[in-house]
Amino acid sequence: MKRISILFAVASLWFAPAMAQNARSPLQAVHYIKLANTLREVDKSQESISLLLRAMPAVQSKNLYWEAVTNELLGLSYNDIKDTTTALRYLERARTQYTNLKYVASGWGVNEVIRKISGKNMYAGIQVSTTGVQVAIFKTKYESDFYEKEIKTIVEIPSSPLLYADASNSFKVGQDALRIGLDSIRRYNIPNERIFIVFSSDVEENLARRTQRRQILYQQLSQVLPNTTLRIDTTLTPAREAELFTIGTLPRKVWATTSALNLGSTRTEGGYFDKDASRQNYTNANKAFHEISLPIGVNTLVSRIEGKRSMNMDAYKREAQRVIKTIADSVFKSNVNSKDLGFQQRRTVGIGGDIALALVTYLYPDKAGLTAVPISADDAERFKQAVLSDYKTLIQPNLRSITNPSVRNRAEKDVSTLQAQVDEKQLVAGALWLSAVMNSYSSPSSPKRFVFVRNSGVSWVTGKFLETINNEYESTIAKGAMYTR
């Protein structure tokens, strides 16, 4: 390394007098440009800028390709030294020139850099539900013909009972929760067109017959929004929520073979797309989604099990097994096995929800760093038996054997979050429901592979983002233009 540094220093002294002059020909300009690119790689971006500015006069308006390359490298070099305003100016010039030259790959690559620098690859969603406000912030990555998610942060802001105003008819608790969510997003400088705010379907269903209360809630929460284009979407139905969850949970390339299922607090929902949907545009009206959406979730199961009684844990466990078996046999199996054979034809099920997260966290804490974790019916059975017979040991897994510090930290956070958010009765109901659901999906003639998908709790906003950006991208490309948003 020392020898390389000495040689580089000697070479720099040799070429310095020549490089102090503007390039006298396009060929010399190319030499300057190539050396400038090398200088960036050894953290000498200021020197790179100086060389590129000397190369520019020899290629400007004479060789459009090398002028575009020079503008691109100037943009990258200015970004290296944190001058983003100048960087964007040069990169936008390069993008335009590549587009005019029909160099689509180069133009696309520069456009991705522009999106990253300007914050256009950051998205956020705020979901107002009956239990609180959930905020999801993530960045995007172009992969396999569509944009995929990379979660940056998820914030849960409990505000129960959100739907019940105080004596003065004020929803201040909900307003404060929404304000906190907006403040957390603002720190990322995310453009307004990349922020989605919705009432979840449980809010819409809860207030469907209470129009006045719904209007007051909407008006008071809207007062918290800045005076911009941001609006609260109140059109999210259970079927639409199931579709967005599926889009946000499953990579588009596996739609033909995979269905999605979310075991939520108030609903069990998901579905699948027709086999040719992955090859169609999102805007194609023939794209068919087949949903399953049942008003059965962990919290609703707890309510059904206990009713208006206050049961001790032993009695609760016995009643839970009876109630959930009845529901699985009479409701879930009929929806999955009889309503639509497509569910049986999908060999893989991407599964989400706190209960699936609890299974993976408590049984396999060493997999905390993985986005997708296969789980088997045997795992579900072992998890169920541990919940029923050894709850206290289950929720305190041994994390000392995890050698990777970041994975261990993630596992510790998951364990802490679950212990705070999912109590014993919820875990009993959820474990029984998860086992029943997995058994209902599978049969000897049609075994299923289940894969837990991490962060699927925010898949509605991920789905909305993917749907939006793919509509924009595909409609722009169809017109023969460069996608620049």
> Is 201 contained in some domain?
yes
109 and 126 share one domain: no
What per-residue confidence (pLDDT) applies to 284?
46
The residue count of the chain comes to: 485
pLDDT at 449 exceeding the cut of 60: yes
**Of 236, 271, 297, the domain-final residue:** 236
> Is 472 contained in some domain?
no
- The long-range contacts involving 308-313, CB below 8 angstroms and separated by at least 24 positions, are 313/424, 313/425
Domain harbouring 393, CATH code: 3.30.420.150
75 and 194 share one domain: no
143 and 65 share one domain: no
Domain harbouring 14, CATH code: 1.25.40.10
User: What is the gyration radius of the CA atoms in the chain, in angstroms?
Assistant: 27
**Of 118, 142, 166, the domain-final residue:** 118
pLDDT at 7 exceeding the cut of 60: no
Range of the domain at 110: 2-118
> Is 409 contained in some domain?
yes
150 and 256 share one domain: no
> Is 136 contained in some domain?
yes
84 and 201 share one domain: no
What per-residue confidence (pLDDT) applies to 314?
94
- Locate 318 and state its tokens: 């016995």
> Is 466 contained in some domain?
no
> Is 485 contained in some domain?
no
The total number of structural domains that make up the chain: 3
Q: Which residue has the higher pLDDT, 3 or 324?
A: 324
Query: In this predicted model, what pLDDT tens digit does every residue of 250-300 receive, in sequence order?
Result: 888 888 899 999 999 888 999 999 877 655 554 444 468 998 888 899 999
405 and 365 share one domain: yes
Domain harbouring 152, CATH code: 3.30.420.40
Q: Which residues of 381-400 are buried (b: 16+ CB within 10 A; e: fewer)?
A: ebbbebbbeebeebbebeee
Query: In this predicted model, what pLDDT tens digit does every residue of 210-227 receive, in sequence order?
Result: 778 888 888 888 898 987
